[in-house]
Structure formats: C-alpha cells, structure tokens
Structure 1
C-alpha cells in the first residue's frame, strides 16, 4: 500500500479572475503540465471550480471522457449539444459521457457563489454514443458505478466523529470537498486529497467537526489505442 497526500495549496490555480472563474487543478491541465502528475488510476482531472453569479464556461467540446460533477454550494446550469438542460444542486451527481463528441456550457445559475468539483475519467471504450444522466439527492452509502469504466464514486457526508471505510481497490482517490477528516493520523482539510495505491487494509476515515468526502474506487488504469 502507498499513500500520497496533495494539499489544497499545492493545486495549480487557473481560471479567469476577471470573469469570475477561479479554478484549482489537481493534475496537469490546460496551461499547467507536470509529466509526473498527469493522472491517477482512471482519473485525469479533479478541478475545484468557483464561479461568481452569472459567470461560466462558454460552449466547448469534449470527446472520449467521462465527466462527473459534484456541487458543493450553489446551483450549476448545464446545457449540451444533445439537448439536455438541467440545474445541478448540492447532493446531485451529474455525469456527462462525452463519447464520440459533445459540446456543453456550464454557468452559475443562482444569485450566490457556486463551488463544485468536476472529475474526468478515461472510459474503457472510445467512440461510443454520448450519454447524460443526473442522480438527484444521492444518498450516503449508495455507490455510483460509473458506466463504461471500472470506477465507482462513493459520497460520504459525515458528522463529527463519524467513520467510514476506505474502499479496497488498486487505486483510491479521496477528496475532501468540505470540512476536515483524519486518515491514519493525517488530517485532511477542505481541498486536500489522498491518493492510495493497492488499498487492501480496510482503513477508516474519521470526520473531525464534520466532513463531505468524495471517494473514487478504481480498479484499472487507462488503456489507449
């Protein structure tokens, strides 16, 4: 087993401050490139996005990537070239399977600041039909198995002192979306992440003062070509 902790302050900071967009990248992304940090397991992006009211991303394309979005605070408006138009709120899991190609826009639909976490994973099959789904108000302990991948998302909203098991998997990515949690004596704060390899120990994560945690259980690495 191996464990690497990435602190919130070590993320690459991007976005467009004048346009009300503040982005924190966990992996190489856009103008930031580190050959030693291009992904983990099937995960190739984990972006923390902060959008001011009215701010957003204009229409742009994606292909052969599974995009999963978790809203922490506020309301996210999604529109895509397949005709989907939805508002994603805290507790909802949104998935956009880009497949052979799709275009979309994302915007802060509310009057308050918006904060969300967007995660990109490499699918097991390329060139498939684009897909879209949203799970409203996903319950704790209800795993979200990501189609076309060997990955499962676990959402944990923990009260002070509550514990949850860390999944056993070849790759586990743990992101603290809100609050503070303790993992084997290491305190993880909001925005911190832990990358766990060959997890087989049945470890536990404990909330300190309450926490909202996203846990990716991944059983493969990308296969291209």
Structure 2
C-alpha cells in the first residue's frame, strides 16, 4: 500500500504559558513546508488548555472549524449570539463563512484537552453558522460514527465534499477504511493501530488512497478524514 506516515514526533510542539499544543500541520509560529495539510484538511491542533485560561475573542472567515473535546469542558461565545459549553464527547462545527468572532475559554479547575480541526470550504463567503452534537464513540465502540459531511446522513453539515468519522476500536477489532472521495487520512488520538503493514501510534497519522482496514493493536480512538482530490 502506498502511504504517507506522519509521525507524532514530527508535529510542531508549542508551549506558551497556559497553552500546550501539538500542530500536525504548519500553524501560527510553527512552520514546516513539508506539513501544510492534506487535500482540504488544513489544521489538526492537539490543544491542552490550562484551568481558567483560553483563547480570547478572535476572528475567522471562510473556514470549517471542527472542535472535538476529549477531556474537560470548553466554553464558547461568538458574534452569532451562541454561548455554549462543549464537554468531553461533544463536537462543535463552526462554519465561519463571511466572518465570525468567537472565544474559547476553560472556566474549570482542570485542563481541557481538545482537537481543533480546520477544513477549507468549497463555497466562499457563505452565511456563518454553528452546530453542536453529542457523540461519544466510547459508548458504541467498533463502529464508525459520521460526525460531519456534505449530505443529510451526517450529524453535522460541512461545506466541503469531505466526511469526518470517528471510532473507538477495541484491541483486536477491525474496521474497513475505504474513501468515498479519493484520499484517506487517519489520525490516531489514542492507542495504537495497524493499517496494512504500517503501525500507527497515538498522535501519528497516515494518508493513503487504496481501500484498507484498521486493526487496533491496543484500544484506540481514531478520526478518519475522507477527503477529495484537490487540483493544483
């Protein structure tokens, strides 16, 4: 299987006071021309936010921004009038469109661990919107959960011909991985998996084109991005 393995240790690690983050792709002060994203997937930031800290109000536009809270609770407030709490097992999708301002604060007494994911939209300057769902894959392991996609079967609608799925896979269990678009990109949140001849550990990811299957070498949580081919 032709594949590109993105090792966890090749991520950018930035620690700045209250924020400890690992960037899968170039972001902010960390830049590496080898890691600029895959297809329309531009950002995967693995953030740990200290208690009583967070991101103050800041703007976004023309980006699909997906937040996956793994531990703790993050408080969101935006210029669309949303004031929400996103707890572990919940997902948020903010389509920034023509522009939105928001803040993300950890108002609790313990750190928040979350993933922030950015996907380029296939339409520009659309009206911003906000979506949030509960989907904890630990409650229904060994199956794919479709978090976001362009069609009505997805829990949240994304403005791109891409799907985002997640699963908790128990040790020894297997799931198929076959793109409906063109490119598979599997990011391992925790645990360890095998895809073809490749062992992929927590924090690492693998991009490949062919259909395959994923086996948990030990209990694992993964995100699978089913991405379109992008023409230069």
Give the TM-score normalised by the residue count of structure 1. Answer: 0.90
Counterpart among 190, 197, 211 of residue 185 in structure 1:
197
Indicate yes or no: 2:210 matched with 1:200: yes
Counterpart among 8, 28, 39 of residue 30 in structure 1:
28
Looking at structure 2, the residues matched to 36 and 6 of structure 1 have their Cα atoms a distance apart, in angstroms, of: 10
Change (3 A) 1:129 1:171: same
| Moved >2 Å (runs of 4+) | 32-37, 109-112, 137-142, 220-223
By how many angstroms is 1:183 displaced? 1.4
Counterpart among 130, 147, 169 of residue 158 in structure 2:
147
Indicate yes or no: 2:185 matched with 1:173: yes
Looking at structure 1, the residues matched to 26 and 11 of structure 2 have their Cα atoms a distance apart, in angstroms, of: 10
Partner of 2:124: 126
Looking at structure 1, the residues matched to 184 and 230 of structure 2 have their Cα atoms a distance apart, in angstroms, of: 12
Partner of 2:230: 221
Contact 1:122-1:222 at 8 Å conserved across structures = no
Indicate yes or no: 2:14 matched with 1:5: no
Partner of 2:140: none
**Unaligned 5+ runs, structure 1:** none
1:61-100 correspondence runs (5 A): 61-100=59-98
Looking at structure 1, the residues matched to 22 and 171 of structure 2 have their Cα atoms a distance apart, in angstroms, of: 27
By how many angstroms is 1:222 displaced? 7.5
Counterpart secondary structure, 1:117: strand
Looking at structure 1, the residues matched to 178 and 85 of structure 2 have their Cα atoms a distance apart, in angstroms, of: 30
Looking at structure 1, the residues matched to 84 and 158 of structure 2 have their Cα atoms a distance apart, in angstroms, of: 20
Partner of 2:220: 211
Partner of 1:161: 172
Looking at structure 2, the residues matched to 94 and 65 of structure 1 have their Cα atoms a distance apart, in angstroms, of: 14
By how many angstroms is 1:107 displaced? 1.6
Contact 2:145-2:167 at 8 Å conserved across structures = no
Contact 1:181-1:206 at 8 Å conserved across structures = yes
By how many angstroms is 1:32 displaced? 2.2
Q: RCO greater where, 1 or 2, for CA within 8 Å and sep 6 or more?
A: 1
By how many angstroms is 1:36 displaced? 3.3
By how many angstroms is 1:179 displaced? 1.4
Looking at structure 2, the residues matched to 194 and 55 of structure 1 have their Cα atoms a distance apart, in angstroms, of: 32
Looking at structure 2, the residues matched to 103 and 147 of structure 1 have their Cα atoms a distance apart, in angstroms, of: 19
Change (3 A) 1:50 1:222: farther
